[in-house]
Chains A and B, each alone.
Chain A
Amino acid sequence: QKEVEQNSGPLSVPEGAIASLNCTYSDRGSQSFFWYRQYSGKSPELIMSIYSNGDKEDGRFTAQLNKASQYVSLLIRDSQPSDSATYLCAVKLHGSSNTGKLIFGQGTTLQVKP
């Protein structure tokens, strides 16, 4: 079992729709979770962090965390063609508290069609 798992997609949604991206993780003790956006040929860009169960909203983005189910998701409302990218889920594992290194999923490719 991979430590962080994402469906590689592609996930295709029409412009204006809600895109829902999902991520599961194996380390039950993990406390810190991140979503990065990566355009083709570019480096990852941090868009959301979440540390507590529940929802965290930032503009059109909402991160949702359910530690009991070991599940974190990212919702993108009013999706735009410019949101088309690969979205990476990253987890700071419980055992890595001394370094803070992140474990990444393989990413989900999102395509927003005009």
Chain B
Amino acid sequence: DTGVSQNPRHKITKRGQNVTFRCDPISEHNRLYWYRQTLGQGPEFLTYFQNEAQLEKSRLLSDRFSAERPKGSFSTLEIQRTEQGDSAMYLCASRIAGGTIYEQYFGPGTRLTVT
């Protein structure tokens, strides 16, 4: 395992449906982040986990969004009642714990299209 993995890579769904994405971080990384990226913009922070604890959520993360990281390993991001505005690339990143090293490594992303 040499990198962050995400599944599925692409998801097309109809408005109103629920979707769930999975992220598997680099094995020794206990910090995990979710970002969202729309066309022409940089990634925007959604939420952060340290081990299994969700320690920060962006105001971008409405009540329809929920994320968890059971057992501090993989993480899931669920969007309920999807809207067309949810169409974006959802990126997961991880980094190693502690110290002053803050490099984050991204997975390949899940591209969501809501029709």
A-side interface residues toward B, CB under 8 Å? 4, 8, 32, 34, 36, 42-46, 49, 51, 88, 90, 92, 98-107
Which residues of B lie under 8 Å from residue A34 when comparing CB positions?
102-104
Counting chain B residues whose Cβ lies within 8 A of the other chain, the interface size class is 20 to 34
Query: Do residues A44 and B102 form an inter-chain contact, with CB atoms below 8 A?
Result: no
- B31 interface residue, CB < 8 Å from A? yes
CA distance A105 to B40 in the complex (A): 10
Closest to B41 in A: A106
Q: Smallest distance from the beta carbon of B91 to chain A beta carbons, Å? A: 6
Which residues of A lie under 8 Å from residue B43 when comparing CB positions?
44, 88, 102, 104
Closest to B40 in A: A106
Query: Do residues B45 and A102 form an inter-chain contact, with CB atoms below 8 A?
Result: yes
Q: Which 3 A-B pairs have the closest CB atoms?
A: A104-B42, A43-B109, A43-B106
Contact of A43 among B31, B33, B44, B108 (CB under 8 A): B108
- B65 interface residue, CB < 8 Å from A? no
CA distance A45 to B103 in the complex (A): 11
Which residues of A lie under 8 Å from residue B40 when comparing CB positions?
8, 106-107
Query: Do residues B55 and A106 form an inter-chain contact, with CB atoms below 8 A?
Result: no
Query: Do residues B48 and A43 form an inter-chain contact, with CB atoms below 8 A?
Result: no
CA distance A51 to B101 in the complex (A): 10
CA distance A88 to B108 in the complex (A): 16
- Taken residue by residue from 54 to 85, chain B's Cβ proximity to chain A (1 for < 8 Å, 0 otherwise) reads as 01100000000000000000000000000000
Q: A99-B55, A106-B40 are in contact. Are A46 and B105 (CB under 8 A)?
A: yes
- B95 interface residue, CB < 8 Å from A? yes
Which residues of A lie under 8 Å from residue B2 when comparing CB positions?
none
CA distance A49 to B105 in the complex (A): 12
Q: Smallest distance from the beta carbon of B22 to chain A beta carbons, Å? A: 15
Query: Do residues B42 and A100 form an inter-chain contact, with CB atoms below 8 A?
Result: no
Which residues of A lie under 8 Å from residue B95 when comparing CB positions?
100
CA distance A4 to B42 in the complex (A): 10
* Most B-side CB within 10 Å, residue of A45, A105, A107: A107
Which residues of A lie under 8 Å from residue B25 when comparing CB positions?
none
Q: A34-B103, A51-B100 are in contact. Are A43 and B42 (CB under 8 A)?
A: no
CA distance A104 to B109 in the complex (A): 16
